[in-house]
Amino acid sequence: MRIGFVGLGQMGRPIAHNLLKHGNDLIVSSRSDRWFAEFREKGARCTSDVADLADAELVFLCLPDAQTVQAVVGGDLLVERLGPGRTVVDLSTIAYGATIAIAQTLEARGIAFLDAPISGMEARAVDGTLTVMCGGTAEAFEQVRPILSQIGSKILHMGPAGSGQLTKLVNQLLFDINAAGLAEILPMAAKMGLDPDLVGEVVNSGTGRSHASEFFIPRILRGHFGDGYPLAHAYKDLVSAAELGAARTIPMPVLAAATATYQTALLQGHGAKDKGAMVRVFEEALGVNFRSRSTGGSQ
Residue 130 to residue 118: CA distance in whole angstroms = 6
Q: What is the 3-state secondary structure (H, E, C) of 186-228?
A: HHHHHHCCCCHHHHHHHHCCCCCCCHHHHHHHHHHHHCCCCCC
Give the CA-trace dihedral at 33, 34, 40, 46, to 10 degrees.
-20
Q: Using alpha carbons, list the distances in angstroms from residue 289 to 117, 164, 181, 194, 220.
A: 35, 39, 16, 11, 9
Residue 256 to residue 138: CA distance in whole angstroms = 35
Collapse the DSSP code of 288 into the 3-class scheme (helix H, G, I; strand E, B; otherwise coil) and give the result.
coil
Examine the residue annotation and report whether 168 is marked as an active-site residue of this protein: yes
Amino acid of residue 15: I
Between strands 130-135 and 118-119, the pairing is antiparallel
* Catalytic residue selected from 21, 42, 154, 168: 168
Burial 11-22 (b: 16+ CB within 10 A, else e): bbbbbbbbbbee
Catalytic (active-site) positions: 168
